[in-house]
A and B are shown apart, each in its own frame.
Chain A
Amino acid sequence: MNIAVVEFLGSNCDHDAEQWSLRLSAARSRMVWYTERDLSWADLVILPGGFSYGDYLRCGAMAARTPVMEAVIAHARRGGLVLGICNGFQILCEVGILPGALLKNQTLTFLCQDVYLRCETSASPFTSGISEGSLLRVPIAHGDGNYFADPDTLRRLNGEGRVAFRYAAPDGSLKPEWNPNGSVEAIAGILNEGRNVLGMMPHPERASEPLMGSSDGAAILRSALRALGS
């Protein structure tokens, strides 16, 4: 089992992602620089959170055009697992592996707080160990997490069960006041067509041990590792 954690200039959750991988499994986790062109050795690629290239131009726009992203695209095409967290999600949208875009939060403020995520589908390697409708408490930390997609794309995402997580109230219902950034249909995370790529704004790696106040996020990596046979 090999996990690649990609580091861009300005990534700041790379070591969190690496520790998350190391503590949860016997997997070998390797940090990969953005200049890397070969990821054929990796089973799971994690694009960590942060502010790659200072969010210049658009969040994730510069990182999406680095050499390593060609390798990430090839890995995803082979059916390899890719998990994009926060800035990683923005990069996956910018590079076109996932549909839609992340806009500035509706509040215009940077949001750093716990949210409740409702799992919308167990049919993916990342959510197979999480029951549909159950809640995960994990933090968000972003200024541009307001998910946008046009109506056709939303219809397709919903029709194909590709919304992985929505922001929900503690009772599991969807209410505007529990959708912190104004994301369309309270979408917090989505899957690609092949269901082997998950992008999400919240940080599961920051809620992966009781010491952190919640270990709910661990279920995502645990599911992925089980899917990979570890």
Chain B
Amino acid sequence: MKARVHVFLKPAVLDPQGKAVQQALKTLGFEEVSSVRQGKFFDIETGDLPGGEDPKGRVEAYCRKLLANPIIEDFRVEVLAP
């Protein structure tokens, strides 16, 4: 299986890095940029899943256990190849 996981800060959490990037874009003349939120993504490849488990559910478990901190972050899973 191949999957891509996006992890990003919850809307209620301030993102000082995103804010700095937004300011930098403005400084470069891109005046229209009103908000930047910075996140990260993971490209994951696996062997066969145990017991024919649902790929999306399996990757969501990776997120809950390690890839995202549920207190401050949300995540989105895309299964690219089963």
Interface, chain A (partner B; CB < 8 A): 57-58, 61, 65, 93-94, 99-101, 103-108, 146, 148-150, 182
Query: CB within 8 A of A105: which of B12, B13, B16, B71?
Result: B16
**Cα(A10)–Cα(B27), bound, Å:** 37
Chain B residues touching A, majority SS: loop
Q: Do the beta carbons of A100 and B16 come within 8 Å of each other?
A: no
Q: Do the beta carbons of A106 and B16 come within 8 Å of each other?
A: yes
**Cα(A65)–Cα(B62), bound, Å:** 13
Chain A residues touching B, majority SS: loop
Q: Do the beta carbons of A148 and B13 come within 8 Å of each other?
A: yes
**Cα(A146)–Cα(B16), bound, Å:** 11
Interface, chain B (partner A; CB < 8 A): 12-14, 16-17, 20, 66-67, 69, 71-72
Query: CB within 8 A of A58: which of B12, B14, B20, B69?
Result: B69
Q: Which residues of B contact A93 (CB under 8 A)?
A: 71
Interface contacts beyond A101-B72, A106-B14: sample of 10 additional A-B pairs, CB < 8 Å, sorted by A: A61-B69, A93-B71, A94-B69, A103-B14, A104-B16, A106-B16, A108-B17, A146-B16, A148-B13, A148-B71
**Cα(A158)–Cα(B74), bound, Å:** 26
Query: CB within 8 A of B69: which of A101, A105, A108, A146?
Result: A101
Q: Do the beta carbons of B66 and A61 come within 8 Å of each other?
A: yes
User: Which 4 residue pairs across A and B have the least CB separation, nearest first?
Assistant: A101-B72, A101-B71, A108-B16, A106-B16
A100 nearest in chain B by CB position: B71
